[in-house]
Chains A and B, each alone.
Chain A
Amino acid sequence: MFMSKFGVFGLLMVMAWGFPVPTVGMTGEADFTDEYGIGRPAEDHEIQAWNIDVAPTGQGLPPGQGTVEQGGEVYAEKCAVCHGPTGVEGPETILVGGRGSLGSAEPLKTVGSYWPFATTLYDYIYRAMPLTAPQSLSSDEVYSVIAWLLNRNGVIPEEAVIDATSLVEIHMPNRDGFVPEIQLDHPLP
């Protein structure tokens, strides 16, 4: 029955994909109750090449590590031109300071005063910084810049080492400062 409708192609599709192809009735109109069979399976290397996001659980953090001191060097070389020598001068986004200012008339939203998750720093710095060469920093460079930023914001001590394990454990000062407007666990219909 199946063969008579689809022939060898249909059978191969099922073998290759493991799901049925849509049936075609006498009128030629397709009846799609399942998948269309368009697209191809993703290769592991394709997924790995693009799978750069880092979740608050630490999922996605690569091997590597960095110190505050190393971070100061990377920052001076690659970040200071836009964010200022100590992270407070600008002209682009101010990164340091502002603790306790959020409820005032002049709130200053920085990494230290506003960001709820330290893991987001890894995700964002690697994916988008520096603006002229995104995705160019090594994992050691990213970890070390994070160490420098967190130290300058008074979140971690001078001797701290940041890696995949220690980054997840950091409790950011404004971790509880956000009120979601939607249900975070919204079941599928």
Chain B
Amino acid sequence: MSKHPLDVHMVRSLFRSLARFLRISAVENEASGILPMVSRRVLLKLGAVLLGAWATPPVSRSSAADSDAVPEDPTRVPGQLASPYGVRATFERASRLIKPQHSRTPLHQLHGIVTPSALHFERHHNGVPLINPARHRLLIHGLVDRPMVFTVDDIKRFPSVSRLAFIECSGNSGSEWKEPGKDTVQDIHGLTSTSEWTGVPLAVLLREVGMKPEARWMLAEGGDAAALTRSIPIAPMLDQALVCYAQNGEALRPEQGYPLRLLLPGWEGNTNIKWLRRLKLGAAPFMTREETARYTDLMPDGTARQFTLEMEAKSVITSPSGGERIRERGFLEIRGLAWSGRGRVTAVEVSVDGGKHWAAAELQDPVLPMCHTRFRYPWRWEGQAAIIQSRCTDETGYVQPTRRALIRERGTNSSYHYHAIQSWRIMPDGTVHNVHV
């Protein structure tokens, strides 16, 4: 049976039989409360027939987009059967831009505010560990009354909280401190992503272990081959931090810390320790390599800003953006994202003349604190050269700076926390390029 090529008529008749059968057995189930044995056998047989027919499709699914297997008229051919774990349409190509230890989200190819889990940016310091969740443990010790160990199942038993939050690597857009070295919004801004995160409030866990009143800092350590550690000041994050096990409704992706990660909404990405295995409470910062030699921001006078934890207000036009080419003249909706680690985005303005004039863009609901916010601005492009920019303001009143203002304050060797206004130059041929103005 399974060797036979797919016969459309056969499949259609099987579908009809199956539908009829399911209607009947549903009635039977209601009446008797049990699926009769005979019905179950028939169902299994039908299932086997259908699966057999699909097990050797005439053309493999993966090549469907590239071949003439795509039906001329999909209304005249039965479609695919249900599948246990969905995959995107075979025509879609949005991908992360990868380097060995990080990958960047294709912001120009996304919609709304949520980043698909498979496209969430990655940053790891010695690979993505393979962790058996049944063996994973979270140890909380140090300045606590009761050092304790929690399994992943333990963590899931606590009251559960979900929230949307962006995570941005503090090195995002770091290429722009000096020359415009990169072309695309993915390459320049792709180290930020937004997910719905689910977990238990850190405060609940700290109460569980009896945090001592003299505790001020918490060392968070990952269970990866970098055993990455950051010191987290407790007070400012006590009402925000989560220990998460889920992302966008399912278990965390391995790249995002499976099975447990810290979420510190609005704080620089590397503090959101992934593969979390240990929290140690202390009275002072632990001064790990990641908060001294790395992730500190060198100023022109040779001193370095340390514990620059908050991600400052930032926005970027994602469409049209660098590396793209505008194909059609006429109406063009300028679209982009804005976010702030200090709360909600309250306004985004757009300029189409290199920053001489600014006009308010529309913020699209939902507008949430520490979350990507989508903005839109209607425009007409008739083949003119233009420099388009976006600039956002957050609820603290902080306005995203120009590149010049940022560099005036911090020089060009800061490495981290570049958040200046991005400029895209549109050429008369419709091509779009990264420029500094």
Q: Chain A residues in contact with chain B, CB under 8 A? A: 17, 19, 32, 34-36, 38-43, 46-47, 50-53, 55-56, 102-105, 107, 109, 111, 114-117, 119-120, 123-124, 127-128, 131, 134-135, 177-189
Contacts and interface: CB of A to CB of B under 8 A. Distances in A.
B204 A36 contact: yes
B216 A178 contact: no
B285 interface: yes
B406 to A, nearest CB: 16
14 contacts: A19-B210, A46-B149, A47-B141, A102-B303, A103-B300, A109-B293, A114-B292, A120-B287, A120-B292, A120-B293, A123-B286, A134-B227, A178-B296, A188-B234
A119 B139 contact: no
Contact of B150 (A39, A120, A179): A39
Contacts, number: 161
Contacts of A104: 302
Given A32-B159, A42-B141, A50-B221, 12 more contacts: A36-B208, A39-B208, A46-B137, A46-B139, A52-B227, A56-B287, A111-B293, A114-B292, A119-B287, A177-B302, A178-B306, A189-B235
A55 B281 CA distance: 12
A41 B147 contact: yes
Interface of B: 125-126, 137, 139-141, 146-151, 154, 157-159, 204, 207-208, 210-211, 213, 215-216, 219, 221, 225-227, 229, 233-236, 238, 277-278, 280, 282, 284-289, 292-293, 296, 298, 300-309, 413
A188 B215 contact: yes
B287 A185 contact: no
Nearest to B300: A103
B215 A127 contact: no
Contact of A128 (B125, B157, B298): B125
Contacts of A134: 126, 225-227
A46 B306 CA distance: 32
Contact of A42 (B149, B154, B204, B238): B149
Task: From A34, A43, A111, A177, name the one whose CB has the most chain B CB atoms within 10 angstroms.
Answer: A177
Contact of A50 (B159, B278, B286, B305): B278
A124 B289 contact: yes
Contacts of A128: 125-126, 225-227, 289
Contact of B238 (A17, A40, A124, A188): A188
